[in-house]
């Protein structure tokens, strides 16, 4: 049974949907008898696959509902509607700590206050024998009245109690904040797990970044388990040695080396922070664009996100902003392509780009100005292969200069690539790759230019841009030697990007090579959604012959490692390396993964 806006569920009238995540959907509702708004979190229907889940849900909800503390979002009620369980919580007007960190510099006083308040709520819960299991800035709510609340207490435990397909194949936790023992899938978690995640949050607040960040959750999880912690003083020289010492202890790989409890950690941190200070905090705090596996969802009753911005921890992103371009601003040609994978029925949301038919006239116009970065396209040899074409040298210009250059020569493909790179460097990845997509359209059927730009983008590891170029080449010269291998490589690495659903045109990839699309979908599901069963269903369609499609073996190895099966992952990679016919990049990637799995 659905929960629709305007319906009455029990005593609650559903007002609006606030957000949707991998585990649940959050609504704002009105409780008429008490004349107050509440937040209702409806758990995913997949939990109903477990016939015992409702009983377990009620038991766990009772425990969490007993948490009565000024720094914990209170649970008012829990029930089920049409067999679907839901929690009723306090509706809090405010924003998350994550949004606050993105908004600008955070003061020393704010750091102290937030650490103290979150620590108080967490310590209280631990005394009641309840772990949070998913401490992170998006689960900390900063209310408009000055209150600080820790949200989603025990939700990860409620999910983990079940045996549904929603949780059986995933690591519960958020990669950037996950503890090593959580990453290894251990079940004997204790308060040390929360202390580690709390420590990561403190690290981010004081240095301006999380300790481990990479293109894929797999890489981040691997670093939490095996990689030494980047010293806070090396990330932000203004951090004092005393604060660094506290963070190093809280983030020890071995639980026994961490703080014994939250109050001791908070006391040491505040003493170090207030007595020796950290000088000037970073002027901007950069967080990862996508921070969670689908198991992590936030019970935040804050205002809905602005249209056109990425909604963290939601299954569907908002549609891109299509407002007119203001003079002097980069083009807002956002790519709106979605891969929608919900449950075993896999269906693509094919968003067709309006690729206008360009004429065959010269696209360059007037000769390029000195220092503009425009170069001649490489000549295409007779009977060409992709590897025969040289890369196109491109400058990474300051954003304002790149905007002016592209406006001055709007038909220049290279200048739009440079604008795209400048946007990406400034953190506007979706807009940046949209500009690169536009550049591929402007290049028309100029295969040497397209290949040259693709090579340059590859060397800069801007894989979504390289994929756009190769897809355009396929339209012009589908039989070009070695093109298929380059397409697969670009699609493989693009699928590791957190924003891959916004950056890949599934219709174009399928037209070029359907197995490549299946492989890319499978890799995205493994690395970003934890949907190992669904990913293997896709891989089964293409990996019957590992020699013909060894990339499927790479994805399988990544899935095995994330499932906590490193020996099987290494065996799969070794079986790939035993073959003599695999492309060089596949061999290199297999060797790289083997080193990561050591």
The residues annotated with a catalytic role in the active site are: 134
Residue 88 β-bridge partners:
40, 77
Decide: 389 and 452 in contact? Cβ < 8 Å: yes
3-state secondary structure of 448: helix
Q: How far, in Å, CA of 141 to CA of 150, rounded?
A: 6
Cα gap 590→553, rounded to integer Å: 9
Of 489, 555, 553, 545, whose CA–CA distance to 521 is shortest? 555
At which residue do the structure tokens 């990425």 appear? 310
Whether residue 154 contacts residue 212, with contact meaning beta carbons closer than 8 Å, is answered with no
Q: Where are the alpha helices (DSSP H) in 208-240?
A: 217-226, 232-235
528, two tokens: 């970003």
Instruction: Give the whole-angstrom CA distance, residue 464 versus residue 501.
Output: 11
What does 65-134 look like in DSSP terms, one character per residue? HT---TTBPPEEEEEEETTEEEEEEE---EEEHHHHHHHS---HHHHHHHHHHHHHHHHHHHHTT---S-
Whole-number Å distance between alpha carbons of 595 and 575? 15
Distance, in Å, from the CA atom of 447 to the CA atom of 161, rounded to the nearest integer, reads 55
Count CB-CB contacts under 10 A for residue 251.
23
Question: Which of 469, 551, 553 is closest to 512 using CA atoms?
Answer: 469
Residue with tokens 């708004």: 37
Tokens of 275: 């007595």
Closest CA to 248 of 266, 235, 267, 230: 230
3-21 residues labelled b (16+ CB within 10 A) or e (exposed): beeeeebeebebbebbbbb
Neighbours of 360 (CB within 10 A): 7
Q: Which helix (H) or strand (E) holds 544?
A: none
Question: What would the two tokens of residue 500 be?
Answer: 């891959």
d(CA 333, CA 331): 6
d(CA 498, CA 240): 33
How crowded is residue 444: how many other Cβ atoms within 10 Å of its Cβ?
19
Where would I find the H helices in 426-462?
429-442, 447-459
Distance from C-alpha of 158 to C-alpha of 87, rounded to nearest angstrom: 11
Q: Which residue has the tokens 């970073």?
A: 282
Neighbours of 525 (CB within 10 A): 27
The answer to whether residues 246 and 265 touch, using CB atoms and an 8 Å cutoff, is yes
DSSP label at residue 442: H
Q: What is the 3-state secondary structure (H, E, C) of 267-285?
A: HHHHHHHHHCCCCCCCCCC
Task: Evaluate whether 338 touches 353 at the Cβ level (below 8 Å).
Answer: no
């Amino acid at each position: 049974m659905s929960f629709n806006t305007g319906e009455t569920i029990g005593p609650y009238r559903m007002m609006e949907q606030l957000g949707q995540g991998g585990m649940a959907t959050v609504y704002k509702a009105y409780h008429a008898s008490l004349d107050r708004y509440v937040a209702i979190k409806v758990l995913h229907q997949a939990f109903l696959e477990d016939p015992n889940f409702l009983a377990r849900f009620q038991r766990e909800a009772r425990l969490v509902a007993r948490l009565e503390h000024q720094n914990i979002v209170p649970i008012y009620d829990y029930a089920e509607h049409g067999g679907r369980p839901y929690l009723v919580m306090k509706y809090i007007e405010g924003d998350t700590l994550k949004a606050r960190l993105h908004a600008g510099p955070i003061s020393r006083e704010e750091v102290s206050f937030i650490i103290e308040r979150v620590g108080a709520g967490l310590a209280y819960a631990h005394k009641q024998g309840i772990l949070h299991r998913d401490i992170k800035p998006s689960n900390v709510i900063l209310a408009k009245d000055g209150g600080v609340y820790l949200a989603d207490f025990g939700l990860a435990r409620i999910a983990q109690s079940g045996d549904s397909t929603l949780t059986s194949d995933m690591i519960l936790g958020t990669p950037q904040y996950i503890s090593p023992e959580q990453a290894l899938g251990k079940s004997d978690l204790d308060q040390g797990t929360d202390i580690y995640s709390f420590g990561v949050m403190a690290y981010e607040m004081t240095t301006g970044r999380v300790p481990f960040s990479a293109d894929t959750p797999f890489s981040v999880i691997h670093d939490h388990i095996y990689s030494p912690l980047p010293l806070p003083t090396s990330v932000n020289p203004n951090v004092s040695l005393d604060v660094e010492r506290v963070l190093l202890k809280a983030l020890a790989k071995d639980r026994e080396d961490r703080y014994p409890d939250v109050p001791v950690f908070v006391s040491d941190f505040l003493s170090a922070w207030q007595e020796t200070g950290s000088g000037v905090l970073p002027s901007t705090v950069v967080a990862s664009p996508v921070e969670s596996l689908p198991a992590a969802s936030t019970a935040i009753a804050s205002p809905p996100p602005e249209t056109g911005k990425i909604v963290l921890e939601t299954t569907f992103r908002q549609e891109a902003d299509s407002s007119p371009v203001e003079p002097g601003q980069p083009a807002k040609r956002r790519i709106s392509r979605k891969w929608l994978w919900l449950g075993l029925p896999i269906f693509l949301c094919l968003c067709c780009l309006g690729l206008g038919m360009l004429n065959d006239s010269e696209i360059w116009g007037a000769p390029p100005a000195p220092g503009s970065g425009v170069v001649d396209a490489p000549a295409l040899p007779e009977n060409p292969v992709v590897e025969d074409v040289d890369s196109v040298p491109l400058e990474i210009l300051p954003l304002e200069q790149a905007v002016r250059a592209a406006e001055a020569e709007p038909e220049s493909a290279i200048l739009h690539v440079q604008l795209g790179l400048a946007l990406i460097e400034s953190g506007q990845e979706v807009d940046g790759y949209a500009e690169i997509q536009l550049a591929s359209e402007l290049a028309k059927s100029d295969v040497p230019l397209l290949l040259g730009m693709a090579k340059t983008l590859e060397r800069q590891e801007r894989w979504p841009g390289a994929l756009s170029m190769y897809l355009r080449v396929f339209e012009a010269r589908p039989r070009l030697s070695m093109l298929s291998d380059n397409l697969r490589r670009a699609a493989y690495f693009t699928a590791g990007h957190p924003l891959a659903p916004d950056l890949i045109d599934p219709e174009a990839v399928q037209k070029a090579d359907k197995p490549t699309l299946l492989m890319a979908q499978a890799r995205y599901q493994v690395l970003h959604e934890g949907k190992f069963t669904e990913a293997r269903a896709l891989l089964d369609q293409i990996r019957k012959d590992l020699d013909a499609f060894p990339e499927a073996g790479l994805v399988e190895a990544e899935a095995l490692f994330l499932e906590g099966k490193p020996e099987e992952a290494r065996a799969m990679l070794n079986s790939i390396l035993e073959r003599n016919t695999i492309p060089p990049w596949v061999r290199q990637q297999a060797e790289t993964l083997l080193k990561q799995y050591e």
